[in-house]
Structure 1
Amino acid sequence: MSTELRQELAELLVAKGSLTDARWAEAVRAVPRELFLGEAVFRPTDCTNGPLWEPVQRAKTSREQWLRMAYENRTWVTQVEGVMAEAAKSSLSGPPTSSSTLPSLVVRMLEAAGISDGNKVLEIGTGTGYSTALLCHRLGDGKVTSIEYDPEVAARAATALAAAGYAPTLVVGDGLAGYDKNAEYDRLIATCSVRYIPASWMWQVRGGGTITAPLSGWMGGTALAHLTLADDGTATGPFLADDLSFMFARPHDRPPRSHYLIGLGEQRESVIDPRVLNDPTGLFVAQLGAPSAEKMGADDRIILLDVATGSQATTEPSPDGGWLVRQHGPLKLWEGVEQAVSAWQAAGGPHQSGFGLTVTRQSQKVWLGNPDGPSWHLPA
């Protein structure tokens, strides 16, 4: 049954347009995803204060049902707040911290990275090991190095990979440091989001090689960076058209929020409509203007908060039409947002693929249109 379901999954991914490379389709047909779900997964259940995560045990599920779950094109959460699904005694609340990403997203990422036969690949974020197995099937074990930050997640992935018959180089540690023992790599692919490109990645990818990584920020805006390394140690490239989202690399995740009071500071009219932050690209652009801020609220009642400095901005509708904003603290968060959004709107409001990134030893700069256009520095 597993073989038939793998074939059906490959056909589905081709039909959706997520899978266009026959060699990746062959890998999807070959790799048994059910092994990478382990002994349990979490299923979300409705709750008024956010989702609860109910553990679903393989031992308490029929073989047919478990296989059908494995080959759904969906993400299965395997860890919540550091608790593995097989260790959970009851439903949990909190953010997922590891998962088996939906297969259509996995193969889109592999194709976006331009990985081809013979490439030597460094994968940042082993997770369950499913994408690692796809890489091994296509490239061979000796061409694949994968790093996982969480020891429990890494051990689970190692067990699954061995059961599936694959033996890549597996490293437990900080993926942001890369793994220089197997460098240089032709391709580096990150299955976690980063706020900026770590310097170690730049040193470990050969000239002409590429880095493909979701670039995210604390407001939640994301773009898919695809950089080509030059011989002088710099890298540049436009963002790709794919709208992909992954969990943060843990060292890049948001800091804990402290207590705060909203509505502080002097009030003035806002230059922009705060509802532009409801648009995924608008949110990404706003984030460029205030990279240390988190976003709360929605529609025209937005709260931006920088926990490090206590700076904040709050918006609300004006009784006379338009919108009002209050800013408090040393960082004028909304002014940065207004400047970035205004520049983007003046350029016609393009998708994230209308932007790009240039990384040098001195700085990391997101640019609009071309490297000489309007630009913003990342908090590297």
Structure 2
Amino acid sequence: MSDDKILRERLADELTGNGSLRSPQWRQAVLDVPRHEFLRGGYFRQVDGPGPTGWEPVMPDAPAWLPACYSNESLVTQIAGTIVPGDIQGRIFRQPTSSSTLPGLVVRILEEAHIEDGNKLALIGAGTGASTALACHRLGDDLVTAVEYDQDVAQRARTSLAACGMSPDLVTADGLLGYEPNAPYDRLVATVGVLNIPRAWIEQVRPGGLIVATVCGWMYSSELVRLTVHDDGTATGQFLGGQVSFMLARPHLPPPLGMLPDLDDGEECEATVGPDALDDWTARFVAQTAAPRTQRFQMERAEGGTQHVFLDVDSGAWAALHREGNRWLVRQGGTAGLWHRIEDHVTRWQRDGQPDLERFTITITPEGQSITW
């Protein structure tokens, strides 16, 4: 047996053992799909150290390359929107923009979609093409439509899929708009994070069909959700747990912070909830339901100590908190009461016993998205 097949067996056993891989059809897909074919261009390895995060390329001639291809880890394949491993030597200090998602998460979301024989599938966020290959193995090329935002990423995915003898309909388009020419779909699975479930997805999935996606916010708590589409054009679903995260869809990335407001402006008052409460993943997700487009960062105060800043760039709303003894004090500006909205949601969640995210529900109507527990 070849080295890569031995590694595939080990990976399938690991994913079965941790509960990601539950059905024989998907296990066979993991055994048969060569993930390394989708990483022929290499990947970026994170380099730890002081200062900003650095990344260095690992190419196929490196001893570490093949074992990494079959590790249950995400492997970064693009930096700063255009740079791939073969473009550089040494290190790069920019943000990742595309990756081959860890196999355990890919098979989990495919399992959570309850895909059945004959289902027509839309896959949003093709990336390297590895998840598309798993779907093609399960359903056949003709039933899979994959949508990728980045033209260069899409072309590399097509090349890798062709090397595996697969030719699904892989289109370069904005995945937030779905892909209407091939609709309706029985299932839609997104391997990118979104702030809200796009209306186009609801419209392109038949009634009774399922959508599996990750709902995020700019405080970077996120959760996997499975929605059922209804006859009246609405969709409802439950969150599935597990602190799942994907790279945000590029149109949903946060804007630059720009020039900060005067954080000494506004009236100071005591906060009911301090920003330390949001160190908890679920509490932070609750805060995002009140302010999904708010970014969170810290600054040193001129008077000493740390200031915790929350800023919605688009609306201009902001809140700045600092500790004084055992109290948290807050100043707010812009549109009314950003921190008051956040602490109202978090306080109600605490009062209700701090339910887990699996007890949250999501509803999509033509008027918008609502999340409740």
Normalising to structure 2: TM-score of the pair?
0.94
Shift of 1:263: 4.3
Residues in 1 aligned to 2:294 and 2:264: alpha-carbon distance in whole angstroms: 16
Deviates more, 1:259-268 or 1:331-340: 259-268
Partner of 2:355: 350
Partner of 2:4: 2
Partner of 1:239: 239
SS in 2 for 1:134: helix
Partner of 1:339: 344
The code of the aligned residue for 1:84 comes to: V
Residues in 2 aligned to 1:357 and 1:163: alpha-carbon distance in whole angstroms: 40
SS in 2 for 1:58: coil
The code of the aligned residue for 2:125 comes to: G
Residues in 2 aligned to 1:264 and 1:17: alpha-carbon distance in whole angstroms: 51
Partner of 2:292: 291
Deviates more, 1:122-131 or 1:100-109: 100-109
Deviates more, 1:292-301 or 1:356-365: 292-301
Report if the CA contact (8 A) 1:38-1:156 is conserved: no
Residues in 1 aligned to 2:45 and 2:329: alpha-carbon distance in whole angstroms: 41
Partner of 1:77: 76
Residues in 2 aligned to 1:300 and 1:366: alpha-carbon distance in whole angstroms: 32
- Choose from 24, 40, 43 the match for 2:42: 40
SS in 1 for 2:232: coil
- Choose from 302, 305, 308 the match for 2:314: 308
Shift of 1:363: 2.1
Report if the CA contact (8 A) 1:356-1:366 is conserved: yes
The code of the aligned residue for 1:11 comes to: D
The code of the aligned residue for 1:156 comes to: R
Report if the CA contact (8 A) 1:76-1:101 is conserved: yes
Partner of 1:29: 31
Normalising to structure 1: TM-score of the pair?
0.92
Report if the CA contact (8 A) 2:56-2:89 is conserved: no
Residues in 2 aligned to 1:291 and 1:70: alpha-carbon distance in whole angstroms: 34
Partner of 2:66: 67
Residues in 2 aligned to 1:300 and 1:136: alpha-carbon distance in whole angstroms: 51
Q: How many residues align?
A: 364
The code of the aligned residue for 1:101 comes to: T
Query: Structure 2: which 5+ runs fail to align?
Result: 300-304
Partner of 1:325: 330
Residues in 2 aligned to 1:305 and 1:324: alpha-carbon distance in whole angstroms: 16
Query: Structure 1: which 5+ runs fail to align?
Result: 369-380
Shift of 1:203: 1.1
Report if the CA contact (8 A) 2:363-2:370 is conserved: yes
Residues in 2 aligned to 1:357 and 1:40: alpha-carbon distance in whole angstroms: 39
Report if the CA contact (8 A) 1:275-1:300 is conserved: no
Deviates more, 1:348-357 or 1:208-217: 348-357
Partner of 2:302: none
SS in 2 for 1:73: coil
Partner of 1:378: none
Identity score, percent: 46
Partner of 1:88: 88
